[in-house]
Structure 1
């Protein structure tokens, strides 16, 4: 009696069983209420991109009501993840067994999101399943040969399952038509009338833990409420909760008024490998008589290459303050569409920094020109003494050549090379002009901006005068992009070789992962004054050590832009 009851529930509850005289089959119906970590597009097809920040391969197995030999079992081998800034893709090979009927096929998923406003967007997606369903003779034991059973043939079935999701802030509201179109290709007929279609709705909230270190770092809490209307049957209510901790794994729990309660745990075995286990047991219907149901998942995750995250609506939190692109004419951080700007007070601060840089540059240019004139007067005096007035046009010629050569000097990017100031060779033979070239050494002090105070660099003909042409560019990279901070609570004192600045965690983690692939063990610290996170390659006790690695591009391992930032742990000056 117990086995008979189980078979009846399998036929009426889990799947809809259709049969012609020759070929029985069951339609696609995979319970997805526990798929909170991987294969989420089975809950709603838009979830391959909504709130998704990774791609993965996952092997999933659901073993339902294990107390019975011929219980329902499902296997999925899936790929899912974002394939662009707005779209997601899923692809699954699956097999499903319900009693003596077996299904096997392929399911494809696609989702695409569009931006509605700064806080909302709309995502549309669909699952398309193509599968064969038929009678499995190997699972039937008969006393005598039955030609009717031997004559059964598989049916080719097609199922189209669209859905959409509207996101506002951290909330997501979705609708899913689980069998809007289901068609038997063999018999060329629809499998269900519209009144027998199954529709479901989802309401999800994403809460990001405000913890920047420890095992809860970058964690998320995602509660999900669902309602499902399976045709003309009663409404099914459900709810679930998952605590996702990237450094450890995840914990989940849920309730479904039809399938019962569930609890699960998952472990991240390194950066890419994850293993999960979920157990479910019925509480309010005959499922509680059939034993527990368990689900296993084994996944390999990897981060996709993305430029920005429009679908997840974390623009403000994941905005990149890239050191190579972070300053334009207004010192505003923009996304590629120019839709996101830094707060007004940051803009004002950057404008002040730029004004200071322009003032410094103008002062250096004035001092440089004055210095050139003084040098020229000194040189001309020496030339006059050499030629004794016999070369009257030499003074004007020397002036043109000297100032032209000095105006053409370009400022190199740091590190600054050695430069020499040489007197133009005098090719005219003269009895009193003994040498063809002369070098005169000058000493001058050049102000070079450091992290938050100025360092006077002594220059001579051997060390060279540091030309000015690109000083503003170097200053912007080392000062304007990140206003030097004198005091940061909780940050060790020293000089930091900074590679990038981020506001959120998504792109910060990707950048640190990229550096890890280059064998660079980068870290970051939080500036509590502006809320930005600074990724640095190393910390140094002295300016000279930091400058040496800056000049060598961190021993040649990092070729992009860098700057040095000084942090003082002694507290603000009074």
Structure 2
């Protein structure tokens, strides 16, 4: 019994039976996988582009409607092992046009951080699958004296390695679908060196995040794929990815133009679709190809999409290194000093509170006495005014009586004297009115002075309370990182939200550029004391404002740790 001799004989037999159809490449046709299950495209992509920890499904219908069986099915579970490695396990079925492969895939990927800008990731997909003929419509004439090919089910082990070099937002990758393989049924390699499939790819992530979605990005990806006995494939994919949806457009010189997109619901479930139209004259008559992808995120929702930021190198320069023992000793000394200072500060605060209470009581008693004195003064003035009015009234009565007597005695006087008396009466009335108005004005002024004194006392108390409250707010909380200096050069007094401190311009420039790429507007100043660059996000006028900005991660714009640096004015 003769089994499948060489791949060439099988391909020749298959093409003889389907001489009028387009030759379909034998690759996995996974060139559109950009958002989910992209470890099928390059094994190193499981580190971040598979969105671990998640379960994802991808299906493709090649040149056929979706009511038929899919030509490719890929069900994958990916999990992050730690910050630098990931693994996945998958089930797949794939119809190459000649063979129908069914089996599983184990994936592992590891990343090495070469420095703050460059990362090297590598991984592999280990395939184990059964292979059988996908089309048995060609029947060999028994009268023709050629070997009869008996269908069989072969078990094949296949290794697909991949590597990715990332320089800031650039990524360069290489992968192979079948670099090593072994057919356990035939006890030999499954493909010859000329039938190996290789891929090269380059991409660039363009951050377009805003405050509501700092993880959003635009990723163009260019790739080249070598296909046995066919022309090389060249393609371009452009992916727009946000927290709630994604969209992509692509072009492959063999398969044509693709359009796709999808959405994420409840921060866990994602579903999307893609359609691909042939533009090559050889396949323009074929039906469009369809793809459907679905994914469910198992981890915590806040960990579904993380921003990869450039961090300062974890290893400081040699001159800044100190031994662990020295660090421990310094920490113990600092803790002892802090405890002593805290005890002294507590005693000082207790004494200050006591003195403040006594002073407040004295001020309250003094204010009360002043109010009593003011009330007594006002009462005395009112009584004096009343007495003056009474005396004035008596004088008026006496004057009127005297006037009547004089009028009785002066009846005989001439008209001129009566006019003079009338004028005198008018003048006296005006004088009385003026005196009455003066008394009322004095009374009003006295009441106004009382109100002003009370308002000034209340304002003084409010100002004292505000000063005490501000002093209480300015005191560092337990475990709070805080530093305070007196008049630092031309630096404006206030509270600075510090993100990092650099003694080297290289790391300072890289850090500033990274913050600017995130849409932030960082500022910095140099301390004369140590000649270090202090990078801060904003200056605030009060401790409360600075704490609120720190505790809210700068309103969600900056997720790393920050601390407060206060400059006290002269």
* TM-score interval (norm. to shorter): 0.5 to 0.7
1:3-152 matched pairs, under 5 angstroms: 7=18, 12-15=23-26, 29-50=27-48, 54-66=52-64, 73-99=71-97, 101-135=99-133, 152=151
Q: Name the residue aligned to 1:344.
A: none
1:3-402 matched pairs, under 5 angstroms: 7=18, 12-15=23-26, 29-50=27-48, 54-66=52-64, 73-99=71-97, 101-135=99-133, 152-213=151-212, 218-231=215-228, 233-247=230-244, 249-303=245-299, 314-316=309-311, 337=314, 364=345, 367=348
Distance 1:260 1:95, change over 3 A: same
Q: Name the residue aligned to 1:426.
A: none
Deviation at 1:246, TM superposition (A): 0.6
Once residues 451 and 476 of structure 1 are traced to their aligned partners in structure 2, the CA distance between those partners, rounded to angstroms, is 19
Q: Name the residue aligned to 1:535.
A: 552
Once residues 468 and 241 of structure 2 are traced to their aligned partners in structure 1, the CA distance between those partners, rounded to angstroms, is 39
> Which digits, 9 at most, give the CA deviation of each residue in 1:116-156, with x for residues without a partner?
1111111111111111111368x75989999x999522011
> Which digits, 9 at most, give the CA deviation of each residue in 1:519-552, with x for residues without a partner?
xxxxxxx96559976438x9xxxxxxxxxxxxxx
Deviation at 1:36, TM superposition (A): 0.8
Once residues 6 and 34 of structure 1 are traced to their aligned partners in structure 2, the CA distance between those partners, rounded to angstroms, is 30
User: TM-score, with normalisation over the residues of structure 2?
Assistant: 0.53
User: 2:102 is paired with a residue of what secondary structure?
Assistant: strand
Once residues 144 and 234 of structure 1 are traced to their aligned partners in structure 2, the CA distance between those partners, rounded to angstroms, is 33
Q: Name the residue aligned to 1:492.
A: none
Q: Name the residue aligned to 2:479.
A: 477
Once residues 11 and 190 of structure 1 are traced to their aligned partners in structure 2, the CA distance between those partners, rounded to angstroms, is 28
Once residues 126 and 79 of structure 2 are traced to their aligned partners in structure 1, the CA distance between those partners, rounded to angstroms, is 16
Deviation at 1:89, TM superposition (A): 1.4
Distance 1:150 1:201, change over 3 A: closer
Give aligned pairs, total: 364
Deviation at 1:59, TM superposition (A): 1.5
Higher fraction of helix:
2
1:519-534 matched pairs, under 5 angstroms: 528=538, 534=551
Distance 1:339 1:174, change over 3 A: farther
User: 2:194 is paired with a residue of what secondary structure?
Assistant: helix
Distance 1:53 1:63, change over 3 A: closer
Distance 1:485 1:189, change over 3 A: farther
Structure 1: runs of 5+ lacking an equivalent: 16-28, 317-333, 341-353, 375-446, 457-470, 489-502, 505-525, 539-562, 566-572
> Which digits, 9 at most, give the CA deviation of each residue in 1:61-113, with x for residues without a partner?
10010169988711111112422111121221011234574221011111101
Distance 1:532 1:82, change over 3 A: farther
Contact 2:35 2:49 in 1 (8 A): no
Contact 1:83 1:304 in 2 (8 A): no
User: 1:188 is paired with a residue of what secondary structure?
Assistant: coil
Is 1:454 the counterpart of 2:503 in the alignment? no
Once residues 166 and 259 of structure 2 are traced to their aligned partners in structure 1, the CA distance between those partners, rounded to angstroms, is 27
Contact 1:130 1:157 in 2 (8 A): yes
Deviation at 1:6, TM superposition (A): 11
Larger Rg: 2
> Which digits, 9 at most, give the CA deviation of each residue in 1:356-392, with x for residues without a partner?
x9998597378479899x9xxxxxxxxxxxxxxxxxx
Contact 1:104 1:131 in 2 (8 A): yes
Distance 1:221 1:9, change over 3 A: farther
Once residues 43 and 191 of structure 2 are traced to their aligned partners in structure 1, the CA distance between those partners, rounded to angstroms, is 21
Deviation at 1:269, TM superposition (A): 2.0
User: 1:83 is paired with a residue of what secondary structure?
Assistant: strand
User: 2:284 is paired with a residue of what secondary structure?
Assistant: helix
Once residues 285 and 41 of structure 1 are traced to their aligned partners in structure 2, the CA distance between those partners, rounded to angstroms, is 31
Q: Name the residue aligned to 1:494.
A: none
Deviation at 1:285, TM superposition (A): 4.4
> Which digits, 9 at most, give the CA deviation of each residue in 1:333-366, with x for residues without a partner?
x99x5569xxxxxxxxxxxxx9xx9998597378
Once residues 181 and 171 of structure 2 are traced to their aligned partners in structure 1, the CA distance between those partners, rounded to angstroms, is 27
> Which digits, 9 at most, give the CA deviation of each residue in 1:248-301, with x for residues without a partner?
x11000011111110101011221111100000111242222110000011102
User: 1:454 is paired with a residue of what secondary structure?
Assistant: helix
Once residues 251 and 217 of structure 1 are traced to their aligned partners in structure 2, the CA distance between those partners, rounded to angstroms, is 17
Q: Name the residue aligned to 2:449.
A: none
